[in-house]
């Protein structure tokens, strides 16, 4: 292997990271720049797409300079991103017509309910593999088109470009020459036919989006043009783009059918590789394209959870029950159990496998002896329970079974959570050896296209877990805890 680096952008819900990977696909330096969160109304969540673009350029320049890398050693740029967040912009002015609407945003709920009551849900799911839900991009994009005067003007003049964050970054970084996305991002919009691998006119019409310009859809290892990083005075080929959860599955080297991972972030994505043939997902689970590589499409099952890491942040920032995440782990371990306390964090509804909006978070099982340790532990345990619910739904058909779960994300540093996750699932938990698994996945794909690495075997050797947690809990204790959780969820759903 020649001495070279792959530069990766990992554009997430809360920040943009630039990571430099060396010739052994190991991260050598990272720069993180947070961006603002806008909450105009309850249930509405927005980002400033221009701020994200500027942060991306700054982060890339800083990571190269701080690492002391020479620009002529950079082989390629790879981009992984928050997926369902949607950006709409005017191709003439180059400016967004509205703030980006984030995957958490719920303003499309009413229209999604209208589609379901009108009988369109089955048609949409048959084409996209997804349930009709405001979590995905289409209803949010419809809201922008109908409520932004700038969007209306751009649409009438044929200049309204719409896409996920990757397409916004690629368009700008390539000097507005390439308007493209990849399969993994396109398939999360509710507008893309995952079987014919193209935007669907009927779906665009159903969402009132006829006339909007959607990006060209390429395989995840496609040629996305050349990015100019002005502060570094360098142009780099963009050789991979992938949604963050898909890139994480690839970064875990989960190449076989039935292999699965869970990413612990603001929310969580549980994703299982189901092979090169599309399958109808079990109830409460969606089907998507994992990635397209070397003319082969890999399909996945997925369950998305709205609030996991965000739940712990809520307990810290709103309830002020601890000051740092190490303290949350210590409190959880200071007691033998939550004392029957369960927190169901339906702050913006419940995602997979329930897909219910318009409900509120609930806490059950409180007693006079309940203290902050019990509440903190219940919040941490809620993460593991929600992931267990998704895995249970995902394997309900019996076609796939889970032998282990590969995990990544900030919460994997919580040893109590990882052990409890293994206990409540009854399978080993294998923690990634690096935090930047999504970035590693997309960087590896880009580097492979540039000839830095050869095959899947190289990545598998680099994906040896840092820690493995084996189940210790008895089946009776596990069943009792799950029964209590299921009762708490049922109580929450009754308040719909």
The CATH number linked to 154 is 3.30.420.40
Looking at the domain assignment, is residue 341 inside a domain? Answer: yes
- Whether residue 232 sits in one domain with residue 171: yes
Q: How far apart are CA 181 and CA 164, in angstroms?
A: 8
CB within 8 Å of 322: residues ≥ 6 apart: 315, 316, 328, 331, 372, 376
Domain end (from 189, 222, 243) = 243
pTM of the model as a whole:
0.89
Looking at the domain assignment, is residue 229 inside a domain? Answer: yes
Looking at the domain assignment, is residue 456 inside a domain? Answer: no
Domain end (from 189, 223, 243) = 243
- Whether residue 234 sits in one domain with residue 295: no
In three-state secondary structure terms, 472 is: coil
Q: What is the CA radius of gyration of the chain?
A: 22
- Whether residue 163 sits in one domain with residue 289: no
Q: DSSP states of 208-274 as a string?
A: T-TTPBPPEEE-TTS---EEEEGGGTEEEEEEEEEEHHHHHHHHTT--STT-EEEEESSSEEEEEEE
DSSP state of 281: P
- Whether residue 360 sits in one domain with residue 266: yes
- Whether residue 262 sits in one domain with residue 223: no
Residues in the chain: 496
CB within 8 Å of 263: residues ≥ 6 apart: 244, 245, 248, 269, 271, 407, 408, 409, 437, 438
Joined tokens for residue 429: 């938990």
- Whether residue 234 sits in one domain with residue 379: no
- Whether residue 353 sits in one domain with residue 222: no
- Whether residue 292 sits in one domain with residue 324: yes
CB 297 within 8 A of CB 276: yes
Diameter of the chain by CA atoms? 65
Looking at the domain assignment, is residue 445 inside a domain? Answer: no
- Whether residue 212 sits in one domain with residue 264: no
Task: Match 């990544």 to its residue by tokens.
Answer: 408
Q: Indicate the Cα dihedral angle 382, 384, 386, 390, nearest 10°.
A: 180
Angle at the Cα of 214 from the Cα atoms of 213 and 218, rounded to 5 degrees: 145
Looking at the domain assignment, is residue 439 inside a domain? Answer: no
Q: How far apart are CA 188 and CA 99, in angstroms?
A: 19
- Whether residue 319 sits in one domain with residue 213: no
- What pLDDT score was predicted for residue 298? 95
Joined tokens for residue 197: 């691998």
User: How many domains is the chain partitioned into structurally?
Assistant: 2
- Whether residue 116 sits in one domain with residue 33: yes
CB 256 within 8 A of CB 484: no
Q: How far apart are CA 454 and CA 467, in angstroms?
A: 27
* Beta-sheet strand order (sheet of 27-34): 27-34, 15-21, 5-11, 74-81, 234-243, 226-229
Q: How far apart are CA 188 and CA 4, in angstroms?
A: 33
Looking at the domain assignment, is residue 442 inside a domain? Answer: no
Q: How far apart are CA 362 and CA 347, in angstroms?
A: 9
SS3 content of the chain, % helix, strand, coil (to 5): 35, 25, 40
CB within 8 Å of 398: residues ≥ 6 apart: none
Neighbouring-strand partners of residue 406: 261, 430
In order along the chain (496 residues), what is the average pLDDT of each group of 10 residues? 82 94 90 95 94 98 95 95 96 97 93 95 94 94 97 95 98 98 97 96 96 97 96 95 94 86 90 90 92 90 91 95 94 96 92 88 95 96 97 86 90 95 96 89 91 74 81 96 96 82
Task: Give the helix/strand (H/E) hosting 300.
Answer: strand 296-305
Give the domain extent around 166: 5-243
Kindly provide the b/e burial profile for residues 196-227, where b requires at least 16 CB atoms within 10 angstroms of the residue's own CB. Answer: eeebbeebbebbbbeebebbebbbbbbebbbb
CB 180 within 8 A of CB 239: no
- Whether residue 314 sits in one domain with residue 220: no
Is the dihedral angle over the CA atoms 418, 419, 422, 428 positive or is it negative? positive
Q: Please, which contacts does 99-102 make with residues 24 or more away whose CB atoms are closer than 8 Å?
A: 99/38, 99/46, 99/47, 99/48, 99/49, 100/46, 100/47, 100/48, 100/49, 100/52, 100/165, 100/168, 101/45, 101/46, 101/140, 101/141, 101/143, 101/144, 102/13, 102/45, 102/46, 102/47
Q: How far apart are CA 271 and CA 288, in angstroms?
A: 9
Joined tokens for residue 409: 């994300």
Is the dihedral angle over the CA atoms 202, 204, 207, 210 positive or is it negative? negative
């Amino acid at each position: 292997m020649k001495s070279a680096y792959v530069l990766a952008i990992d554009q997430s819900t809360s920040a943009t990271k630039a990571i430099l990977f060396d010739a052994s696909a190991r991260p050598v330096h990272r720069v993180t720049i947070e961006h603002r969160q806008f909450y105009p109304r309850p249930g509405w969540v927005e980002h400033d797409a221009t701020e994200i673009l500027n942060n991306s350029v700054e982060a890339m320049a800083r990571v190269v300079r701080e690492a002391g890398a020479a620009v002529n050693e950079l082989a390629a740029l790879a981009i992984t991103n928050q997926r369902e967040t949607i950006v709409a912009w005017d191709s003439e002015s180059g400016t967004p017509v509205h703030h980006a609407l984030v995957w958490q945003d719920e303003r499309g709920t009413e229209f999604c309910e209208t589609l379901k009551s009108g009988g369109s849900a089955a048609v949409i799911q048959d084409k996209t593999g997804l349930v009709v839900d405001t979590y995905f991009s289409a209803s949010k994009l419809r809201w922008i088109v109908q409520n932004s005067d700038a969007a209306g003007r751009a649409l009438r003049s044929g200049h309204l470009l719409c896409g996920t964050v990757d397409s916004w970054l690629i368009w700008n970084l390539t000097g507005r020459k390439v308007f493209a996305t990849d399969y993994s991002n396109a398939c999360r919009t509710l507008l893309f036919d995952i079987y014919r691998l193209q935007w669907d006119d009927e779906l665009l019409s159903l969402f009132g989006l006829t006339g909007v310009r959607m990006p060209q859809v390429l395989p995840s290892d496609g040629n996305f043009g050349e990015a100019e990083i002005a502060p570094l005075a360098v142009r780099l080929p963009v050789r991979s783009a992938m949604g963050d959860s898909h890139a994480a599955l690839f970064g875990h080297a989960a190449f076989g059918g039935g292999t699965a991972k869970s990413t612990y972030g603001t929310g969580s994505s549980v994703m299982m590789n189901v092979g090169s043939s599309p399958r109808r997902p079990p109830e409460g689970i969606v089907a998507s394209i994992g990635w397209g590589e070397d003319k082969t499409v890999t399909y996945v099952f997925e369950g998305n959870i709205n609030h996991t890491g965000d739940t712990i942040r809520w307990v810290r920032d709103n309830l002020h029950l601890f000051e740092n995440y190490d303290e949350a782990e210590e409190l959880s371990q200071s007691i033998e159990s939550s004392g029957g306390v369960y927190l169901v964090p339906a702050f913006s509804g419940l995602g997979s496998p329930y897909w219910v909006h318009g409900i509120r978070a609930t806490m059950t099982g409180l007693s006079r002896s309940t203290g902050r340790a019990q509440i903190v532990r219940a919040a941490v345990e809620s993460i593991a329970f929600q992931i267990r619910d998704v895995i249970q739904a995902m394997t309900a058909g019996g076609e796939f079974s889970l032998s282990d779960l590969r995990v990544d994300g900030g919460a994997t540093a919580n040893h109590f959570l990882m052990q409890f996750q293994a206990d409540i699932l009854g399978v080993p938990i294998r923690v990634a050896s690096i935090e930047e698994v999504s970035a590693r996945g997309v960087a590896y794909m880009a580097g492979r296209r540039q000839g830095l690495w050869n095959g899947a075997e190289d990545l598998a050797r680099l994906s040896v877990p840092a820690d493995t947690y084996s189940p210790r809990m008895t089946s009776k204790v596990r069943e009792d805890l799950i029964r209590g959780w299921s009762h708490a969820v049922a109580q929450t759903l009754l308040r719909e």
